[in-house]
Amino acid sequence: MYFNRKKGAIFSPEDSKLLPFYNLLEKYQKSLDGSAIYEEMVEIYEGLETDLKEETANAQKVKLA
C-alpha cells in the first residue's frame, strides 16, 4: 500500500510497529501536505523505517554467527 503526496509516494511499512505512524501520515496528508511539520514527520517515518530494516538485517546476521 502507499499514498501520494506532493513530493512523492509514501509506502506502507514493512514492520507493523510503524503502521500507526503510517496511518497518521495518510489521515492528515490532505490537510498538512507541504507544511514543515508534515515534512518532518515524513522524514522521521522514513528514518525509522530504514532503522528498523537495518535492525532486522543485523539481528539475522547475529543469529547466523
pLDDT tens digits for 18-54? Answer: 999 999 999 999 999 999 999 999 999 999 999 999 9
* Cell representation of residue 60: 539475522
Q: For position 63, what pLDDT does the model report?
A: 73
* Range 5-23 average pLDDT: 95
Distance (Å, whole) CA 45 – CA 38 = 10
Number of Cβ within 10 Å of residue 44's Cβ equals: 12
Q: Cell numbers 538485517 label which residue?
A: 57
Q: What is the residue whose three cell numbers read 509506502? A: 11
pLDDT above 90 (res 59): no
* Residues sharing a CB contact under 8 Å with residue 38, sequence separation 6 or more, in sequence order: 25, 28, 29, 32
Rounded to 10 degrees, the C-alpha dihedral 19/25/26/31 comes to: 160
